Chain A
Amino acid sequence: MKILQLPKVTKKKVNLKKLELLAKIIRESLKEEAKYLEERSKKDENSLTGRFL
């Protein structure tokens, strides 16, 4: 099997200030996503309990 050539990548420095600003928004998002999953899992547990009542 022929080994493919990896794509050429333009190297650019990561802008730390920009990444910090984005990270703040992403952290909020990750918290909300975790909360959603927790609530969904509770609902699933409730439906499971309901099935056996």
Chain B
Amino acid sequence: MKIVLPEDFFRIVNNCHLLLDTSVFIDSSISPVEFGNFFNQLQSQGVALVTIEPVVIEFLKGSPNKEKFNAKQSAINEITGTCIPLTSDIFDNLRRLVELYKEEGKAVSLTDLLLGSTLLRYEKGLYLLTKNTTDFPTNIFNLVTHLNLIHRRSIQSYGIYNYIK
């Protein structure tokens, strides 16, 4: 697997906080060297890798035993610097966001809504990295850039989103 970035990728994300969705942790477990190098490249550009607790829980849940549960926790700690605290403002934004989604919000998970409302709360300087491009529509969020995972027999895309009023 190869991670392919647009030429201006690092210029765009330079010095931002990058909010990682669950798919990032799953893909990092499938291709740890490629993602590990990518994370180190990001950090050398001043990018802070962060997540939120619901993403951590989504990744941890279903672990069949303590060893596997702990391995997931350690991987999250190895990759991310911190969890952004879910303050009451972020929960206040949830209703506003659900209203913006209209009927499309029906199928969106609570974790994705919380990621979205975190983007609403911080606006500039916070970007989301997610493979779930369906649930972050561009009439609400701003698709700032993307990256591709080139596999032997397929191509997958990640979107990098922020929210600017």
Interface positions of A (Cβ within 8 A of B): 1, 3-4, 6-7, 9-16, 18-20, 22-23, 25-30, 32-33, 36
Contact = CB atoms under 8 A, between A and B. Distances in A.
Given A10-B81, A16-B37, A23-B28, A4 B87 contact: yes
Q: Is the interface of A mostly helix, strand, loop or mixed?
A: helix
B17 A6 contact: yes
Contacts of B82: 7, 9-10
Contacts of B43: 11-14
Chain B: interface size category: 35 or more
Contacts of A11: 43, 46, 48, 81
Interface stretch (B104-112, B119-127, B128-136, B140-148): B119-127
B3 to A, nearest CB: 14
B36 A9 contact: no
A15 B122 CA distance: 29
A14 B122 contact: no
Contact of B33 (A6, A20, A28): A20
Contacts of A22: 29, 32, 71-72, 74-75, 78
B138 interface: no
Contact of B122 (A4, A13, A30, A32): A4
B22 to A, nearest CB: 11
Contact of A25 (B68, B78, B89): B68
A36 B62 contact: yes
